[in-house]
Amino acid sequence: MTFKGNYGQGAGRRAQSSGGSGRAPGRSMGPGALALPMMLGGGGIGSVLLVLLLLFLFGGFGGGGGQQAGQGQGQYQSQGGYNLEHCDAPNAANEYDDCRAEATARSVDDVWSHLLPDQAGLEYRQAGIHIFKGDVNTGCGFATSDTGPFYCPRDETAYLDVSFFNQLRSLGGSAGPLAQEYATAHEMGHHIQHIEGTLGLSDYKNPGEDSAAVAIELQADCYAGLWAHYAEQQQILEPISEEQLKEAIQTAQAIGDDNIQRRSGGQVDPDAWTHGSSEQRGKAFMAGYTTGRMAACDTLNRGVYQQ
Ligand SMILES: [Zn+2]
């Protein structure tokens, strides 16, 4: 049990009132915008490219998220049917993975709405969270669960299928509560970068140890650590146990590029990294968690944060 009291209660009502699953995104694209992958035509290539270019992934093993472009059409309706009503139950945020993700997104909003003005002098805009099953149409195109959790800057929404937490286990990660919350808070970290105007620096097509892509991903890990720091301090979360912290670090390490390369039977090749090594990812999360300072997450060396 990580969330304090009944933090998650009311999610179902909010979901209903926003007319879909989870909260409404900051800017709604509407189904019309989803025609773009179709226009690129040529089967799956257009939508795969679109997914690679515009989605910001949690792990390094996505990229296969695009399917045949035509399959996305007509499924826009079904994704809205995802139901979070069970999240109204007492303690649901601690009992159900989807309610936990929803509650995490909300507490990330709580934390950043103060943190971003205080430490970066920027106004916060609420992010959307969209919990889905199987596949989903987004402002960035069509994606499936295989992509893993991701953030789409075009509709300012994080997308997550909670079945991903089982994939994490198979990579040597944990599906413990803080590990799951880290995944959600990482995607919301990309939303912060989007507001900062730096997210566009990331380019998965130009990978490498010293790439902007890696710097952006490590910063998102660090931002997830910042969230954990303040969620604990503000008593949104119960005090984080050693065990939970270990699980979160273990998970950050599991999705390090070197671990994924090793597990997929390949050589460790730093020139192909997009998210950073296991060691870097674990350290980045801890840098945010222990300091609570955006300045400690300044992987882009911008020097613009309050010291
Ligand atoms: Zn990411």
DSSP calls for 197-247 = T-GGG--TTS-STTSHHHHHHHHHHHHHHHHHHHHHHTTSBPPPPHHHHHH
What six digits make up the tokens of 142? 């069509």
The residue with tokens 């025609």 is 35
- Tell how far the Cα of 51 is from the centroid of ligand 1, in angstroms: 13
Q: What is the pLDDT of residue 30?
A: 34
- Tell how far the Cα of 219 is from the centroid of ligand 1, in angstroms: 9
- Tell how far the Cα of 184 is from the centroid of ligand 1, in angstroms: 10
- Tell how far the Cα of 84 is from the centroid of ligand 1, in angstroms: 25
Q: What is the pLDDT of residue 56?
A: 84
Q: How many whole angstroms separate alpha carbon 93 and alpha carbon 88? A: 9
For residue 263, the SS3 value is helix
For residue 159, the SS3 value is strand
What six digits make up the tokens of 200? 């566009």
Q: How many whole angstroms separate alpha carbon 199 and alpha carbon 24? A: 21
What six digits make up the tokens of 101? 């993700």
- Tell how far the Cα of 189 is from the centroid of ligand 1, in angstroms: 8
Q: How many whole angstroms separate alpha carbon 274 and alpha carbon 218? A: 10
Q: Where are the domains of the chain?
A: 11-297
What six digits make up the tokens of 8? 């998650």
Q: How many whole angstroms separate alpha carbon 234 and alpha carbon 237? A: 8
Angle of CA points 114, 117, 120, to nearest 5°: 125
Q: What is the pLDDT of residue 147?
A: 87
Neighbours of 204 (CB within 10 A): 19
- Tell how far the Cα of 231 is from the centroid of ligand 1, in angstroms: 20
The pLDDT tens digits along the chain (307 residues) read 578 866 756 554 443 333 334 444 444 333 322 222 222 233 333 344 444 456 788 875 543 333 333 333 222 223 345 788 899 899 999 999 999 999 999 999 999 999 999 999 999 999 999 999 999 999 999 999 988 999 999 999 999 999 999 888 888 999 899 999 999 999 999 999 999 999 999 998 899 999 999 999 999 999 999 999 999 999 999 999 999 999 999 999 999 999 999 998 989 999 999 999 999 999 999 999 999 999 999 999 999 999 8
Q: Long-range contacts of range 243-247, CB-CB < 8 Å, 24 or more positions apart?
A: 243/176, 244/2, 244/176, 244/177, 244/178, 244/179, 245/178, 245/289, 247/174, 247/176, 247/178, 247/179
Neighbours of 271 (CB within 10 A): 9
- Tell how far the Cα of 45 is from the centroid of ligand 1, in angstroms: 22
- Tell how far the Cα of 71 is from the centroid of ligand 1, in angstroms: 26
Q: How many whole angstroms separate alpha carbon 171 and alpha carbon 117? A: 37
- Tell how far the Cα of 70 is from the centroid of ligand 1, in angstroms: 27
Q: What is the pLDDT of residue 280?
A: 97
Q: How many whole angstroms separate alpha carbon 74 and alpha carbon 86? A: 27
- Tell how far the Cα of 234 is from the centroid of ligand 1, in angstroms: 25
- Tell how far the Cα of 89 is from the centroid of ligand 1, in angstroms: 31
Half-sphere exposure in the Cβ direction for 21 (13 Å, CA):
26
